[in-house]
Structure 1
Amino acid sequence: MGVKSRFGAIPAADISADQAIPPAEIAVAPTTLEEASQALRTATEQRMKVLIWGGGNHQGYGHRVHPDMVLITTSLNQVEVWEPEDLTIVAGAGARISQVEEMLAEKRQTTLLPHPSPTATIGGVLAAGLSSYKRFRYGPSRDRVLETKVVTGDGRIVRSGGRVVKNVTGYDIPRLMVGALGRLGLIGSVCLKLIPTPAAALTVSVDDPAAALAGLYRPLAVLSTPSGHSAFLWGTPAEVESQANRLGGEVQNGHAWPTLPSLPVAWSLRLPPSRLSEGLERLPKGWAYVAQQGVGITECVADQVEIGAAAELRGWAESVGGALVLTNGPETLYERIDPWGTPPAGLEYQRRLAAGFDPYRVLNTGRLPGGV
């Protein structure tokens, strides 16, 4: 029996033209959770290694996966329910964040999910555990995931959480899925808590980011780049004007979010917020960065591979309770350095947890720290 015939009527996908997707025996693009379930049941029966692929924007996270099958989520893109009065939305994992945000803007609402690329999907961003620069004020993305429908490695469809918080009981599976890189299951659809978009937004340059954080009431973000520091304000016109006057820096209407240049190597430096300034001083010369004051996360890019400098920075970061994570680079770099660094304590518990969701190790196998 041919490989394609094993998957019945599940839509196949032609990935030959997309050089970013690793070669595989077959690629499928399910349009429903039932089709995704069938695909993963078949993969389990055939002991095929599966790579989940959404917009392809976050595949640099984690150890490399060499799949027998690529499961593409972009056809799981329906917005199932939008309740503006309840500030909730239910959408498929393959829905593009940019398109969802355009729709939500009609009612001045937002998911707060980051989408630096127009092809970034809800499932991909959540699986990678990413949050936007608005995290300082609103917390990480996982805090707004109310409910998930997940397809496990062996094809079970598991619904957990609840669209009304008071109805939620049992294990907090939705939060488990955020940042698991698809290792625990395919995020099929999610219910997200939305945030009303305030009427006024300003960007103000500041000289001292620590003083800005201490002196402002709930700033949206305070960010640092090699060219300076900025505070991002969101609220009523009177609120943001008052805070801008207090800062006294140059004011721009709207949010002038910094962008990183497109360079071949990317890192995420994650530190206790109190060590962020020291971390910036230790960055190798020439690295571009955006640092989130009060959060402790610095996204960095470089135009060349610097194993020695990265290893030295990683050693210091881990010594103060942080990490340096490789988030993008040439394939040869992943062969020379562990993308995660030192595996965390409790690795055996993580392996047992993964085995409960994916007993035959078919989904994104080995991608997490320690090869989980």
Structure 2
Amino acid sequence: MIKFEGVDKIYQQKNTQIHALNQINLQIKQGEIYGVIGLSGAGKSTLLRMVNYLERPTNGEVIIDGKRLSECTAPELRLIKKDIGMIFQHFNLLESKTIAHNVALPLILAKKNKQEIKARVEELLAFVGLSDKAKSYPSELSGGQKQRVGIARALALSPKILLCDEATSALDPQTTQSILGLLKKVNAEYGITIMLITHEMSVIQKVCNKVAVIEQGQLIEQGSVLDVFGHPKHPITRNFVQTVVRTEIPDNIIRRLKVQNINILSRLEMVGEHATEPILATLVNRFHLDVSVVFTNMTEIQDTTLAIWYVELIGNELDKQAAIAFLGEQKVRYKEVDVS
């Protein structure tokens, strides 16, 4: 659906070249909600703007639905852009126009007839829960309501792709949850592929299937949200993950372990239904081990439970090895961790 092949973006500032993007290879499949996360200035907005060719790559290719944008004529690009909707951080509504007119604007520019425009606007305002605000003006709406208008406007021409440029960063936490729920509804009911950029890992946690992490123009990590949250490989990714999910032992606990001369722990990771099974009780009862829980965290990611336990297993070596084999059979990821 969306593919970046060896994409570079270089800006020339006087005698200096700035590499905003460096050899980006990324594929977003149809129907996915794909999050791109990075700190300010990492290059994520530049990457997003490549999709509708507001930014053009210095090198490499952007491919939309099998079409290489660099090979498209101007009329072909216009047709492709009609299939791409966009919502913004600061809403970008026309303050002097009614909510209905704001939603209708893409349809007016596309020269649709009045009856079709009226029906589509009514449908979209009902979809985003703002049927009673058609005659209101943006100044009369809350931030969350304005973003709902922005989403309705972006859906006006029935796009295949929706680009979200920090769509929730100007909103309070409760409103953010409401907007993320609406984006999931857009994806589920209309089958629209969503590419979302953010600097908040909680947004990725709530709504995305896949995630890519960008740092200084480079793609440093990508994969399913569950895999990246459970096994962040890069220090930047680990820092992002730790803002919403504690996958590592806090420093104060490590200091206590050192005082107790405990150097090796067992890390158990359980996903989905396995996260709520009595695994530790089985280790005690069936394998005659003493299990000392040092640290644990359980969280929900995309309606799936992720549980991480750090425990000390105490018992004879044969029982331990039998227990580890059992954990593998139960699809529990096991790893010994040196905390010395």
In our comparison, the structure showing a higher alpha carbon Rg is 2
| TM bracket, shorter-chain basis | under 0.3
How high is the TM-score relative to the length of structure 1?
Answer: 0.26
Whichever structure has more strand as a proportion of its residues is: 2
Whichever structure has more helix as a proportion of its residues is: 2
